Structure 1
Amino acid sequence: MDQQQKTFRRVVTGHDTDGKAIIISDAPPVHTQLVGGPGGPTFFEIWHTLETPALIHSQSREPDENGLVLPPPKTGTRMRVIEFPPEGEEIRKLTGADAAAKFKTMGDEKASTSAEGAPHPLMHRTQTVDYGIVLEGEITLVLDRAEATIQAGDIVIQCGTNHAWANRSGKICRMAFILIDGQFTDEIAQH
């Protein structure tokens, strides 16, 4: 089984001194991180903004961050690509503490909702609206009371729900995510 994935480019545009559109950068993503060691997903951090509306500069550059951060900045956005390898026994056997430790390496230990009897050990929840687009392969979206297997071309709009991703396909799944900072309403926050 060939797990080697093709690389992709991140093309960033901007403006020259005459205000004309130019390409500022055309290269693979700079920030890449394997989470949880061998068998874990690889995160390709593409871009993030610090506010909405996003300020557009003539020579835009991504704001600096220290390490991988799961949610977008407060009032901001984040785009990333994640490659999920096939899920193995090491994932299925994670304890709640193990799951919290994995989310801590992503800068958001509080996101982990893993508990005894949960439908998946990597269940998590963030105050975000996430657009998830399957680029290659397939993956199962696991919710508290439902599952959906999504394939290349399918799109998930994940609205602050408790969820996990389970790759049961035997091949790598590559997804693009756009994360938008959000806030739970009172009726959702109490759950």
Structure 2
Amino acid sequence: MNQQPTSFRRIVTGHDADGKAIIISDAPPVHTQLVGGPGGPTFFEVWHTLETPVIIQAYSEEPAENGLVLPPPKNGTRMRIIEFPPEGEEIRKLTGTDAASKFSAMGDEKASTAAEGAPHPLMHRTQTLDYGIVLAGEITLVLDRTESIIKAGDIVIQCGTNHAWANRSGKICRMAFILIAGQYAGDLA
């Protein structure tokens, strides 16, 4: 079974000196990172914005990145593709400290909500609204009190809830995520 991440094109458009639409770049994403070593997910950082509404430039430069960061910039957005390999025992046996370390490698240790008795060791929560779209394969969305298997074509609107992704399928699952910076209301904070 091939567990190597596959590549895809990222096409960025812009405007020429006459204001006409052009393609600025057509290549795989520049920033790719395997998280947690062999058996961990591969993150393909596609693009991010620093604010909304987005200031549209004639010629958009590659957004600067200082390593992998789980949430989008404050008031910004982030798009990424993640390839989740099948989940093995090494994931199921993670301790809270191990989980915090995994999220630290993603630039957001405080996102980890791992605790004794949690439904999954990689439970986490961020102040974001996320659109998660399964492109290939299937994965289980794990929440505090329920789970749901989602398959290719399914979309999850993840509203700042405590969750984890568990690939129990035996095959790689590829998902697209669009993350939008948010803020918890009242008692959700």
Question: Normalised by the size of structure 2, how large is the TM-score?
Answer: 0.98
**Cα distance in 2 between the residues matched to 1:63 and 1:186:** 33
* Alignment partner, residue 154 of structure 1: 154
Offset, 1:5:
4.7
Offset, 1:61:
1.6
Contact 2:30 2:45 (8 Å CA) reproduced: yes
Contact 1:72 1:180 (8 Å CA) reproduced: yes
Q: Deviations over 1:113-163 (max 9, x none)?
A: 000000000000000000000000000000000100000000000000000
SS in 1 for 2:13: strand
Q: Deviations over 1:71-123 (max 9, x none)?
A: 00000000000000000000000000000000001000000000000000000
SS in 1 for 2:123: coil
**Percent identity between the two aligned chains:** 83
* Alignment partner, residue 96 of structure 1: 96
**Cα distance in 2 between the residues matched to 1:80 and 1:98:** 24
Q: Is there any run of 5+ residues in structure 1 with no aligned partner, and where?
A: none
SS in 2 for 1:66: coil
Question: Normalised by the size of structure 1, how large is the TM-score?
Answer: 0.97
**Cα distance in 2 between the residues matched to 1:161 and 1:153:** 22
C-alpha RMSD over aligned residues: 0.7
Offset, 1:6:
3.6
* Alignment partner, residue 119 of structure 2: 119
* Alignment partner, residue 87 of structure 1: 87
**Cα distance in 2 between the residues matched to 1:5 and 1:92:** 22
SS in 1 for 2:12: strand
* Alignment partner, residue 22 of structure 2: 22
**Cα distance in 2 between the residues matched to 1:187 and 1:49:** 28
**Cα distance in 1 between the residues matched to 2:6 and 2:182:** 33
**What amino acid maps onto 1:20 in structure 2?**
K
Offset, 1:2:
2.6
Q: Deviations over 1:48-89 (max 9, x none)?
A: 000000110000023212100000000000000000000000
* Alignment partner, residue 69 of structure 1: 69
Aligned residues: 189
**Cα distance in 2 between the residues matched to 1:6 and 1:100:** 28
Contact 2:5 2:42 (8 Å CA) reproduced: no
Change (3 A) 1:4 1:105: closer
Q: Is there any run of 5+ residues in structure 2 with no aligned partner, and where?
A: none
**Cα distance in 1 between the residues matched to 2:88 and 2:38:** 11
Contact 1:49 1:62 (8 Å CA) reproduced: no
